[in-house]
Amino acid sequence: MATTLKVNGAETRVDAAPETPLLYALRDDLGLNGPKYGCGLGQCGACTVLVDGRAVLSCVTPISVIGSRAVETVEGLGTAEAPGPVQRAFIELQAMQCGYCIPGMMMRTEALLRDNPDPQDHEIRAAFQTNLCRCGTHMRIMKAIRRAAELYRDANPVQEG
């Protein structure tokens, strides 16, 4: 059965059962390997993507519930040649070790900054409860999130009045 998904700004048809996890559709049907399979149980955050700007765990989200809402993956945040603010910050701070958790961390960062461009540390920690890093690079990830917030505010200045 075909489902139409809007992913990174483009509408695309996925020939998969309605209960198929969004993560599988993104990776297996659309070739978007940014979102990662970690636990498959909604417990690690490696599969985090955005749905209408909100962070969602795509391993436990069936494609049938997406409807016309916009899905964004780390591939939609920028390119190798022109990385977006969040990607630039993670590269600049070398926040990754193995890198497996990082696409999910970046998407969680993007969701947080769209909602709150100037987060306090306790707000960052609260937002990242669902995203784990088995390599233990949490301190560098924290620095990257703070740097991402600076770059994000530079790229999206608040309009006065």
Residue whose C-alpha is closest to residue 73's, from 25, 113, 19, 118:
25
108: left (phi over 0), alpha (psi -120 to 50) or beta: alpha
Q: Does 59 bind ligand FES (CB under 6 A)?
A: yes
Return the sign of the alpha-carbon dihedral for residues 96, 101, 107, 109. Answer: negative
Q: Does 142 bind ligand FES (CB under 6 A)?
A: no
Q: Does 12 bind ligand FES (CB under 6 A)?
A: no
Interface with ligand FES (CB under 6 A), residue from 7, 16, 25, 47: 47
- Closest to ligand FES by CB, 33 vs 97, is 97
Q: Does 117 bind ligand FES (CB under 6 A)?
A: no
Q: Report which DSSP code applies to 158.
A: P
Using CB under 6 A as the binding criterion, the count of chain residues that bind ligand FES stands at 22
Interface with ligand FES (CB under 6 A), residue from 6, 28, 29, 42: 42
> Please, what is the minimum distance in Å from the beta carbon of residue 161 to ligand FES?
42
- Closest to ligand FES by CB, 113 vs 144, is 144
- Closest to ligand FES by CB, 64 vs 153, is 64
Rounded Cα distance between 25 and 127, Å, is 26
Tell me how far the alpha carbon of residue 5 is from its chain's centroid.
17
Instruction: Say which amino acid occupies 73.
Output: T
114: left (phi over 0), alpha (psi -120 to 50) or beta: alpha
> Please, what is the minimum distance in Å from the beta carbon of residue 107 to ligand FES?
12
The secondary element (H helix, E strand) that includes residue 11 is: strand 10-15
Contact range with ligand FES by CB under 6 A, out of 7-15, 36-44, 110-118, 145-153: 36-44
Binding site for ligand FES (CB under 6 A): 37-40, 42-47, 57, 59, 96-101, 133-135, 137
